[in-house]
């Protein structure tokens, strides 16, 4: 049911693998949000991984990017996106754009995406790739995402694909009332807890969504450098 050709309607040769990936997300990982599944069924994930790894793009694991970073596992992209509860009208802040794959998923599901990536080379490549694939409802900048992007806030949803020792206070400040922030948090650089923070009229509510392992969130409100903990 989720067999999708590439956005221009032509076959890209990966439909079968993409369909298997989406079926696994639904059947094994219990991803229930149809919009998330539809988005992931249509986005050419193989375009976001290094050329030598294209054949592995739809497998059930994270893949290496340049600069020691990783393209997140499909399941974690799906779970985090599901937790954002996007209906299509949202302004979303993304921290740690990496390859731009998560950015693409967000572009499909929200109104506008503000993406930040710390490593210049990754930010530039992700931006070029997304534009060449026809995504036009995002802006990308190179910078420290732990500071948020106050000029465009508040955001209805904020997602971070890297984990720090605390929830960066600027991200809570830039979250709209009713908004959701999904971020891995942990005192070790190798393991975190996936947290979903909701801003209410009177404060915040935190939900724990289990253990996870992300690359370090490096910045003013994150780790000062990689491999500390
Ligand atoms: N969703 C991305 C994940 C990339 S890995 C993908 O699937 O491709 C996480 C990214 O967070 C890395 O590229 C890393 O450089 C970036 N990162 C780490 N700390 C950051 C910070 N303070 N601001 C912005 N990006 C950061």
Over residues 87-91, the mean pLDDT reads 98
Work out the number of other CB atoms within 10 angstroms of the CB of residue 6. 18
Atom of ligand 1 nearest to the CA of 217: 19
pLDDT at 105: 98
CB 191, CB 213: distance < 8 Å: yes
Report pTM.
Answer: 0.96
Catalytic-role residue among 72, 99, 132, 190: 72
What is the total count of domains within the chain? 1
Whole-angstrom distance, CA of residue 101 vs CA of residue 147? 22
pLDDT at 50: 95
Q: Does residue 165 belong to any structural domain of this protein? A: yes
pLDDT at 4: 58
Structural domain containing residue 162? 15-212
Q: Does residue 219 belong to any structural domain of this protein? A: no
> Does residue 33's CB lie within 6 angstroms of at least one atom of ligand 1?
no
Over residues 152-171, the mean pLDDT reads 97
pLDDT digits (tens, 9 = 90+) for 93-141: 999 999 999 999 999 999 999 999 999 999 999 999 999 999 999 999 9
> Does residue 71's CB lie within 6 angstroms of at least one atom of ligand 1?
yes
Q: Does residue 223 belong to any structural domain of this protein? A: no
95 bridge partner residues: 116, 160
C-alpha of residue 160 to centroid of ligand 1, in Å: 8
C-alpha of residue 19 to centroid of ligand 1, in Å: 27
Sign of the CA dihedral running 157, 161, 162, 164: positive
Whole-angstrom distance, CA of residue 149 vs CA of residue 72? 23
What SS3 string covers the chain?
CCCCCCCCCCCCCCHHHHHHHHHHHHHCCCCCCHHHHHHHHHCCHHHHCCHHHHHHCCCCCCEECHHHCEECCHHHHHHHHHHHCCCCCCEEEEECCCCCHHHHHHHHHCCEEEEEECCHHHHHHHHHHHHHCCCCCEEEEECCHHHCCHHHCCEEEEEECEEECCCCHHHHHCEEEEEEEEEEECCCCCCEEEEEEEECCCCEEEEEEEEECCEECECCCCECCCCCC
pLDDT digits (tens, 9 = 90+) for 35-75: 999 999 999 999 999 999 999 999 999 999 988 899 999 99
CATH number for the domain spanning 156: value is: 3.40.50.150
Q: Does residue 229 belong to any structural domain of this protein? A: no
pLDDT at 7: 58
Q: Does residue 173 belong to any structural domain of this protein? A: yes
pLDDT at 66: 86
- CA 217, 219, 224: angle at the middle one, nearest 5? 90
Q: Does residue 70 belong to any structural domain of this protein? A: yes
Q: Does residue 75 belong to any structural domain of this protein? A: yes
Q: Does residue 7 belong to any structural domain of this protein? A: no
pLDDT digits (tens, 9 = 90+) for 2-27: 555 655 667 899 999 999 999 999 99
| Radius of gyration of the chain, Cα coordinates, nearest whole angstrom | 16
C-alpha of residue 9 to centroid of ligand 1, in Å: 31
């Amino acid at each position: 049911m989720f067999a999708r050709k590439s956005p221009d309607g032509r076959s890209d040769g990966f439909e079968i693998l993409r369909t298997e990936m989406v079926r696994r997300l639904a059947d094994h990982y219990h991803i229930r949000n149809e919009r998330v599944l539809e988005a992931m069924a249509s986005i050419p994930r193989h375009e976001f991984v290094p050329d030598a790894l294209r054949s592995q793009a739809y497998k059930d694991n994270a893949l290496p990017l340049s600069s020691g970073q990783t393209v997140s596992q499909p399941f974690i992209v799906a779970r985090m996106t599901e937790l954002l509860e996007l209906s299509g009208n949202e302004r979303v802040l993304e921290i740690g754009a990496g390859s731009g794959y998560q950015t693409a998923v967000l572009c499909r599901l929200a109104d506008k995406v503000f993406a930040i990536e710390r490593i210049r080379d990754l930010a530039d490549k992700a931006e070029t790739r997304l534009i060449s694939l026809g995504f036009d409802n995002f802006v990308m900048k190179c910078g420290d995402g732990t500071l948020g992007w106050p000029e465009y806030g508040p955001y209805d949803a904020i997602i971070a694909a890297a984990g720090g020792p605390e929830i960066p206070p600027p991200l809570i400040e830039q979250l709209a009332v009713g908004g959701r922030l999904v971020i891995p948090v942990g005192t070790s650089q190798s393991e975190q807890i996936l947290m979903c923070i909701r801003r209410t009229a009177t404060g915040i509510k935190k939900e724990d969504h289990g253990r996870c392992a992300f690359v370090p969130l490096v910045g003013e409100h994150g780790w000062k450098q990689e491999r500390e903990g």
